[in-house]
Structures are given as structure tokens and as C-alpha cells.
Chain A
């Protein structure tokens, strides 16, 4: 049996393993389990957290998230991986179902990096956190 834990994954996920035996003709056989993972929250096409701005011109982007889960999911906090270069916030639109997430580039210095906005979910949710890819580019 092959098991795939889909926490933190979205899209096509594959896990492979090698079965090693004493068959002299095929000592090693690869087996693969493939699954399509639907994200816990859907966002409209084109709504990406990709911020392009210039130094000292802070800019923010908001995405609208809708839960794909059969039960309400409570977002309890938000974090990000950009350090002092960004601020993140969230606002419930329909608590448990729809949320707005905003990422703001502080633009205090020239900066370019990809990262994540991390939505912390209440205990009992299918995962502890939902990860949103993000990108900030602050030019001179």
C-alpha cells in the first residue's frame, strides 16, 4: 500500500516507491500513486498575490477566497514569510465560507522574493494552515 498525505499540496500530486525483490530479471520495480488535490479554498482566476511596486510606494493586493470544504472553516490568523517587507491581514466576508486576504508590500527597501501568506485555521479543520503563494518585487 502506498499512502499520500496531501497536507500542504495542491494540484497533481504523485508519490512513487521502489519495490525491491529477488526476481533476477526485475530486482526493482517502481510503483506510483497519483491524485489531483483540490485546494481547501478556491480563488478566482487571475487573483494572485503578485505585487510590483517601487521604493517608498507601498502597494497592497487582495484576493477573495471561497471554501471548497463541506463544513465551515474558521480562519483564526494570518502570517507571511516576507518579514518586515510586508503586512498581511484577513477579513471574513461570510465567516467560515468566504474570506478576503490582503498582502501589503511596505516598499521600505528594494526587495524581490517569492513567499507565502499563511492562513491559520481553527482546530478541527482538515489542515492546520492554508498556504497562498505570493510574490513581491520592489524596484528602485
Chain B
């Protein structure tokens, strides 16, 4: 609770959103994570460096989603440590991270543009949110759809609106859980381009995916169902 109060007190001062630093690193050491009394992830250790894409692979139930949610800070870890370097004082880890989960966080009653603009305002710094929204919509070929309510979109289009969040606010670490679900080949290529540009600009991405994204500078981290890395 002390932490919480501190966050509230510091809120006015910590408004400067994290920029993409040049040498970001995400370090996981001996992670043990359980769900419902069962150890899902057992002793996973890895370091993801700036400019790198870590492809998280493994069978269904191997713990990819669990690991990603723990990295994002949604799930507590039993043992081990997760660190983001460089340490940046009072900015919590979650604020360096974009977490794309199975759900798109898209509101059916808002237009495509309103959806993306809200996340640009909410997640990013106040200034330039308009420009970032434009850029994000363009990157995922959503400019033609921007005045449509999201309820009229197809599953793949909704997924793209959800993914547009990645570009609507600058964050150095992207955690992508099955990002290509319901995307067609062209949209998958747009996503790959976005990830590529992100890593070239010094960011890093960890993606759980069954599809090859055709990216360079990737590394595979295979999770076994027992837990642990092979």
C-alpha cells in the first residue's frame, strides 16, 4: 500500500513517458510462475537485448501466455527476477511495455480512430498524440476505416486496431501474444514491418507465435510443457 500511495503522490512528476532508450534490455532470471497451484513456467532464464526479436515457441499449454503476462507484470512470480535495463528510477516496469494479449482492447462503440487516439492519449505523452495516432493508423492500413465504428469491423481488422496501439505510444518493449491471429498475409507483413522498424530503432520484442514472421535478428526461446527452456 505504501508503494501505491507513493505512485499516486509521484504521479504529477512522473508524467514524462518513457522514451525508447538506446540499450534497453529485458532480463528474466530463473522465473517460476504458477497458475491454479500448478507450476507452469519453471526456471526460465533469458536476456532480450535491444534490436532483437525473441520468438517464444512451444506447444499449447507450454506457458507462453503465462510467461508474457508475468513479464508484463499482470501475474506474480513465485521466484526469480524480471528486470528492465537501464534502471530508470521511479518508472514502473509496466510503463516500458506494450502488452498485446488475446483480447484487442477495442471498444465496439468507438470509431477506429477514437480507439487508437484514446490509447495514444492514455499510454503516451500528451503532446503529439494526434500525429502518433495518424502514424499508427497508416502503418496498419486503417486510414480508410478510421471513421467506422469498430463494431462493423471484421476480426482481422479489429486485431489491426488493437495492434495499432503499439505505434500510438512509444514503448521500448513489445510483448506480443499470438499477434497474427486472424490477420491475413498483407496485415501480417505490416506487423512484421512494424516490429522490424521498432527493433531497428532500438526496441525489443518478445512474440509468442506459431507463424514465421520473416524477421531478421530473431532468436527462438522454446518452452517445454514441463516448464524450463530446452
Q: Do A and B share a complex?
A: no
Q: Give the B-binding residues of A (Cβ under 8 A).
A: none
